[in-house]
């Protein structure tokens, strides 16, 4: 396949600003492991409703952080190939070490921006995103990128928290650490707060793309979207 077909015209790599997610990667990885909910069962049942993925299925985790879902899915389904994309080099290093410890040959990690996903990531079978809309500056562009890289018939699973208080706990703790000059975060303050989305805004954002099917659900702490790209998109193209 010619990878030039995967390029988004006019797309540019968005420069990574200074971030507490980079400076305090160890703390964010700790929160991901022990504080945030594990949606692996929901992801598996949503993306592979027929009883499991076909051999060679390619799953992309956008904003993978320390590689929690990429590694979990690669471990549970050896027939998968998972790729994690993130801007934080420190978190990516943690993700790579996680995969290495688990001897996951079917799991890889690359630096990349959710606003302009790398050219080679085209026609992936499934996309996973969790808690990413909290911190990205342009949610609409991220959704368009997810739609672009999915193959016709591919699915995505998106999870976003609904509690502003619980959501801001990790960032607030990182801000506290930044007040101490001899910590890795010393003196730096994240420029924006984690911002949860209302149900209406979440549904409007997800519905901005021409999905073949879209399902949105809510529970006490999270809102979820499971979307499928129509197979007719390829024919129209």
Quote the pLDDT of residue 77: 96
DSSP 230: -
| pLDDT over 60 at 3, yes or no | no
Quote the pLDDT of residue 20: 55
| pLDDT over 80 at 234, yes or no | no
Range 15-236 classified under CATH 3.40.50.150: yes
Quote the pLDDT of residue 131: 87
In 3D space, the residue among 153, 165, 172, 133 whose CA is nearest the CA of residue 228 turns out to be 153
| pLDDT over 60 at 191, yes or no | no
The model's pTM is 0.79
Q: For residue 186, what pLDDT band results from cuts at 50, 70 and 90?
A: very low
DSSP 18: P
Q: Which two tokens stand for residue 37?
A: 């909910």
146-162 pLDDT, tens digit per residue, is 999 999 999 999 999 88
Who has greater pLDDT, 131 or 216? 216
Mean pLDDT of the chain: 81
The rounded distance, in Å, linking the Cα atoms of 63 and 60 is 10
In 3D space, the residue among 117, 11, 131 whose CA is nearest the CA of residue 65 turns out to be 131
Q: Which two tokens stand for residue 233?
A: 């998109």
The whole-number average pLDDT for the span 20-49 is: 76
| pLDDT over 70 at 83, yes or no | yes
| pLDDT over 80 at 196, yes or no | yes
Quote the pLDDT of residue 130: 93
The rounded distance, in Å, linking the Cα atoms of 34 and 110 is 24
**Residue located via tokens 């928290």:** 161
| pLDDT over 90 at 140, yes or no | yes
Q: Which two tokens stand for residue 11?
A: 């797309």
């Amino acid at each position: 396949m010619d990878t030039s077909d995967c390029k988004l015209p006019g797309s540019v790599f968005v420069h990574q600003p200074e971030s507490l997610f980079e400076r305090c990667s160890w703390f964010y990885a700790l929160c991901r492991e022990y504080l945030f909910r594990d949606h692996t069962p929901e992801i598996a049942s949503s993306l592979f409703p027929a009883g499991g993925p076909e051999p060679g299925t390619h799953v992309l985790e956008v904003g993978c952080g320390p590689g929690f879902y990429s590694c979990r899915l690669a471990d549970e389904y050896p027939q998968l190939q998972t790729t994690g994309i993130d801007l934080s080099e420190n978190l990516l290093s943690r993700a790579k070490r996680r995969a290495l410890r688990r001897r996951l040959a079917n799991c890889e990690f690359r630096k990349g921006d959710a606003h302009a996903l790398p050219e080679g990531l085209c026609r992936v079978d499934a996309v996973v995103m969790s808690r990413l809309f909290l911190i990205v500056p342009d949610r609409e562009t991220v959704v368009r990128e997810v739609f672009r890289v999915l193959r016709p018939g591919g699915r995505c699973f998106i999870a976003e928290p609904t509690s502003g208080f619980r959501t801001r706990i990790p960032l607030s703790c990182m801000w506290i650490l930044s007040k101490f000059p001899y910590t890795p975060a010393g003196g730096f303050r994240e420029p924006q707060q984690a911002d949860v989305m209302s149900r209406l805004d979440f549904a409007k954002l997800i519905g901005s793309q021409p999905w073949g099917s879209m399902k949105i659900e809510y529970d006490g702490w999270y809102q979820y979207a499971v979307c499928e790209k129509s197979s007719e998109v390829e024919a129209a193209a």
